Amino acid sequence: MNMTTANTARLLITCEDKPGIVQAVSSFLYHQGANITALDQYATEAQGGRYFMRVEFELDNLQSRKDNLTQTFASNVAERYSMQWRLALVSDVKKVGILVSKVDHALLELLWRHARGGLPCEITKVVSNHETLRESVENFGIPFEVVPVNKDNKREAYAEIDELMKGNDLLVLARYMQILDEEFVAKWEMKVINIHHSFLPAFVGANPYKQAHEKGVKLIGATAHYVTADLDQGPIIEQDVERVSHDFTVEQLRELGQDVERNVLARAVKWHLEDRIIVDGNKTVVFQ
């Protein structure tokens, strides 16, 4: 960890939009001796809407000053504007667990980017319901666990996965082909990111690219979102599409679709790790 990282923090704020918020936050940081290095904001309406802010700043001796900084901001600024807010230190490296089944493209993209320093986190372990990808994962020096899941053992299986994943800040479903138990999802509220193909129309089942080919689609895409109890209805983080032609084969559709999936998921995970996402109901504000 370099000194810049050790002294860098991010402040994320949501509140009712009122005059003076930017001045109050920036003035507070100025009087603390902080240097603002990035500031992004968004208001839903010109007047009286919801207000969102992400501030990145540097402050000497941040680790030892965090508690005092938090308490002072709460009483001097946050209470005045009825803010929902959180302070994240860059030096507090987030821990990530990954769930996967047999298909490896999304998983390997995350492991490769992490190995190259592109994902600022610690990947603690990969859990699968199959043995298929053990060697691929362990080649990256990351622990691999298998927890079989079937219709008769779901409650016990997800209790075991919950225990294995304790201590992580985020779980990523890298093409994990199981529907998570509602109790499990509730424990990991807004801490699970999923990737799935998104077509118009939407194709469900095990072979969406074959269905897309039969339907003659002209666009294929993918969606990364937070997982909620409502299947594939959680707040969307990132989406992308690629144009395709009538002469694409099923295999060509699948290959291109998997490219979109791996990149969309990697971007969503990176933005979460960099504290760029604020969840607002069933929507997200993503500061890029």
Q: Is 232 a catalytic residue?
A: yes
- H helices present in 139-225, as ranges: 154-164, 182-187, 208-215
Q: Are 180 and 206 in contact (CB under 8 A)?
A: no
Q: Reduced to 3 states, what is the DSSP secondary structure of residue 97?
A: strand
Closest CA to 13 of 49, 51, 56: 51
Task: Name 194's Cβ contacts closer than 8 Å, sequence gap at least 6.
Answer: 173, 176, 224, 225, 226, 227, 232, 234
Distances (CA, A) of 38 to 11, 20, 45, 219: 10, 18, 23, 36
Alpha carbon distance 156, 144 (integer Å): 19
CA angle 176–178–180, rounded 5-degree value: 105
Q: Reduced to 3 states, what is the DSSP secondary structure of residue 177?
A: coil
In 200-245 the beta strands, taken as DSSP E runs, fall at 219-226, 236-243
Alpha carbon distance 274, 276 (integer Å): 6
Q: Which of 162, 169, 232, 259 is catalytic?
A: 232
Alpha carbon distance 42, 287 (integer Å): 9
Give catalytic residues, as residue numbers.
232
